[in-house]
Chains A and B, each alone.
Chain A
């Protein structure tokens, strides 16, 4: 427990006895001149917490003599000493003679001018000095002696004057005025720190005195376990997806073929995203199998048709598209990569959806989502890592409209407290229209991009065998970026990877996107 234990017992006891003897309050500076401020304070706090004493702090100025003041207190003021020297010399003295008689050049010089001002001495015709009166009263000496004895002077003007003359200096003194408290006693009762099982069993709690609890201190450290902040944000996103009827996709494929990661998404083989500069290629294993290689029968046929559709739509165009019109290379499509987005998984899911039959014999509407790691061959800096998490959602349904997409985004982001969305036309090889989603960020005072969305291109969907009137919304955002914006983290390495501070993980509050 946070209490004031560890104080020398005796000073507390001494205080109690001193108070007992005195008729009223006592001053600590007088009662315990040798104890330090800290010792006295600790002893008094201990007694005060038990209401045995009350005390108030007093602050006062104490005046101490400077060396010059000490000199005056012993030998008299400079002017008095000059006067005394002149009084003894009937013939008067020259400046040099005064100096010689006193034996201190400073004293003699200062004394002469002051004594002259006081009209104690005067000048003779031959340029010497002589006493001008029979006797004097050495006021300065008296004043200095008063300060020496009482450490102050009743007249504040004099104190100021002495201070100005650098004869005295001030020192602040803090002392305590101590009075008896309501529970004053000469002995300190033993105090219990905690209610124990033994006390309850014996009934000792009835008579025991309990040490007051320090309500200003923190409670005991819990050495708590903790979930990672990013995973806490991920949980919130998953919750929102479940609320809106989404099924989680199996994203357990870090390695993808160029086909699933790019070609199937209508990303041409010369697209910059497929550069070595941007995508991690895999040297071992090197080449993927053809899609659906291990399937058989109808399924195998459907995969073969898909592959052929993808080739044609790139090379010559199909499904109403003129295509990219370049020689499409199967080898490029079978190169293995670390997936650059989880859209590769969405693609595989949509392809599976194409062969499903709902009650009306057509592929049923579906909502899929995933939140998982993706890889980019980025140069690592404060906002880029070679890995991050992609949040991705797709909605497949008949006759979807752009207005529905924006309405959905408003609801989706509204669930995490992000409102007033704006949509900007953008380009993405596999969505058309493509809409960048912006939100006004109050802290940054500008629109910030929070995600990308769009309707998947017919080239992509119809190659899979989905009907032309089934349209698919797709959108994605990173898990890290909104987390960083929300919690003011400027360096992604403080959030993901092995350099994250464990204390940060442990202390990070619960995530409530709708509230924070």
Chain B
């Protein structure tokens, strides 16, 4: 969520009320913004600086991204002022400033809009807010200027008609904002390469064959969007006529940004809330039009829908009144079944009747809405079978004296393969494209790395350590829609002065016997672990598990076995246990022997 800093005293003055910390907090809470910080009591605030409020704004309320927006909407919400009626200055098309769009711009940044704020009077505070809103819009809605970027100019230093063109970088020469030297497009890229602020926007156009550029009638470069404006037309505190040009790759967002910019600052024009339009001539892509549109949308919203969702029984008139607190103009339809809602051009967040319905609820007060029983229909509770099975295994392991741990699911490629003496054949591990650290490169395909890292971090705990985890791993699965699948595993690790091989083996026996799986052995005289099932001398088609010595590099030679399960006559390997190879211990920085066990639990479903 974006955070906006506003001058506390100025805001309270605009609201015409001196709020206490609590009462202002409450106002924000009710309206749906969040007071994050108040620097009034902050000892770090310089004495000559007015205290600031940091206010968090919902990410879709672009109309609240500046002081003007917050003050206006809080005043409307409190019933202190009406929704401004933003108007375009009525001038004939022939007298309008215009921007002619060259078709080459389609290759780099196809859309442009323009607007003029006439006879505006900036103060230092409103000037800073004007710049601040551009920054916030660039950051949020404009996705770091990739989608939209704004340029503002002192109209009295330039002369229309304007053109929006796309030229090879070499052919664009101008002095960038706050610089003294003229440079061309290529030089400019090199010049701002390491600039902390602008450096991060260069990639948007850098490798394009042509760069977008806005010229005035005298071929003065107004701006090179989305990077920088020209120094020639820069606005200052004394600028009275502001020319705004906005370029974009997304036309919807272009219009939203344009409306927000002019709506917020037209209140400082000599003729309040009026905006002089600019004609865009762009026949090649059928976007010739007059901007900004400032068109207020009309919506018909069912009275019953609003009342039902909110659990209210308000009259159409009362709903209209509530909507006016949220900056809508609304009136009941003739049959009083609908509310005819006019959505101001600044409320780009309103997409559906549900948005209007929510605003009725906000205006009414969420916490004042009548309550009703949530138990409309009876439903039946039901656990997921794999979780029920896991709980049996988890509880049996804990009852057998093992401590449950919960390591992370993401790990490094090395921990998952190389450190376990395993080789990545490319068919199992899911690999991440953009991890911030090497700790997170793959989704684990085994529970062992997490267990071994847990032991590594717990060397000071009294020996022996007996830990267990029952959780998911994930592997590639080309046949499924997501090309991957999870698998529920159960694993344990023993760390002590002796290997603990038979302890781990015993845990396997115990837990499997609790799952009514019997141990099948070839050895005469060996008995199974449980009483209620038969142990056979010879392998027979009966269900059960048996183990077979394996020689795999993860484990110490002669101290490892694969675990096989026979269910319904079908035999499959479900996991393995053994004493880890000393080279594995070395990788995980473990000093004592470790025995591990890991099996797939899904076979028992």
Contacts and interface: CB of A to CB of B under 8 A. Distances in A.
A242 B384 CA distance: 11
Interface string B2-40: 000000000000000000000000000111101000000
B136 interface: no
Contacts of A272: 59, 140, 143
A506 interface: yes
Interface stretch (B66-74, B168-176, B280-288, B406-414): B406-414
Contact of B482 (A253, A378, A397, A471): A253
Which of A245, A408, A422, A502 has the most chain B CB within a 10 Å cutoff? A502
B377 A255 contact: no
A406 B34 CA distance: 20
B438 interface: no
A243 B354 contact: no
B61 A427 contact: yes
A23 interface: no
Interface string B477-516: 0111111111010000000000000000000000000000
B538 interface: no
A367 B376 CA distance: 11
A227 interface: yes
A283 interface: yes
A293 interface: yes
Contacts of B484: 253-255, 282, 285, 336
Given A326-B252, A432-B352, A498-B453, A228 B308 contact: no
Contacts of A185: none
B374 A289 contact: no
Contact of A425 (B32, B352, B479): B32
Question: How large, as a class, is the contact surface on chain A?
Answer: 35 or more
B386 interface: yes
A398 B376 contact: yes
A38 interface: no
A455 B410 CA distance: 32
Interface stretch (B235-243, B332-340, B455-463, B544-552): B455-463
A266 B103 CA distance: 33
Residue of B61, B371, B429, B474 with highest tally of chain A CB at under 10 A: B371
A252 B403 contact: no
Interface stretch (A113-121, A144-152, A203-211, A315-323): A315-323
A498 B454 contact: yes
Contacts, number: 304
A260 B372 CA distance: 32
Most buried by A among B34, B366, B372, B373: B366
Given A252-B486, A401-B309, A426-B58, A243 B481 contact: no
A205 B477 CA distance: 69
B367 A289 contact: no
Interface stretch (A54-62, A65-73, A161-169, A379-387): A379-387
Chain B contact residues (Cβ within 8 angstroms of A): what range?
35 or more
Contacts of A322: 297, 351-352
B476 interface: yes
A12 B106 CA distance: 105
Interface string B358-387: 100110001101111110111111111011
A379 B398 CA distance: 34
B126 to A, nearest CB: 27
A296 B437 CA distance: 42
A256 B358 CA distance: 30
B31 to A, nearest CB: 7
B483 A287 contact: yes
B379 A227 contact: no
A225 interface: yes
A500 interface: yes
A392 B370 CA distance: 25
Contacts of B399: 225
B400 A225 contact: yes
A399 interface: yes
B472 A365 contact: no
Interface in A377-412: 377-380, 385-387, 395, 397-408, 411
B372 A248 contact: no
Interface in B51-71: 58-61
Contact of B379 (A245, A284, A496): A245
A381 B432 CA distance: 20
B407 A403 contact: no
A255 B430 contact: yes
A289 B251 CA distance: 30
Nearest to A275: B143
A306 interface: no
A227 B404 contact: yes
Contacts of A50: none
B431 A498 contact: no
B434 interface: yes
Nearest to B364: A402
A502 B376 contact: no
Nearest to B399: A225
Contacts of A244: 381
A289 B479 CA distance: 9
Contacts of B398: 225-227
A497 B449 CA distance: 11
Nearest to A506: B403
A477 interface: no
B354 A231 contact: no
A257 interface: yes
B482 A288 contact: yes
Contact of A256 (B140, B143, B450, B482): B482
Interface string B271-289: 0000000000000000000
A254 B445 CA distance: 12
Contacts of A280: 410, 432-435, 440
A39 B367 CA distance: 72
B458 A501 contact: yes
A386 B376 contact: no
B590 to A, nearest CB: 13
A246 B358 contact: no
Interface in B314-362: 349, 351-355, 357-358, 361-362
B171 to A, nearest CB: 30
Contacts of B297: 322
B579 interface: no
B354 A432 contact: yes
A336 B382 CA distance: 30
B432 A283 contact: yes
Interface in A201-240: 223-228, 230-231, 238
B443 interface: yes
Contacts of B406: 228, 230-231, 496-497, 500
Given A247-B381, A398-B376, A408-B374, A283 B401 contact: no
Most buried by B among A284, A289, A402: A402
Nearest to A323: B351
A252 B250 contact: no
B434 A276 contact: yes
A403 B436 contact: no
B199 interface: no
B410 A403 contact: no
Contacts of B407: 497-498
B394 interface: yes
Contacts of A402: 309-311, 361, 366, 369
B76 interface: no
Interface in A360-388: 364-367, 373, 375, 377-380, 385-387
Given A226-B403, A387-B408, 16 more contacts: A238-B387, A248-B382, A248-B383, A253-B485, A270-B143, A284-B430, A319-B352, A323-B351, A326-B250, A364-B377, A378-B436, A386-B440, A402-B309, A402-B310, A427-B61, A433-B366
Which are the 8 A-B pairs with shortest beta-carbon distances?
A: A425-B32, A427-B58, A408-B374, A401-B311, A365-B377, A498-B453, A403-B311, A433-B358
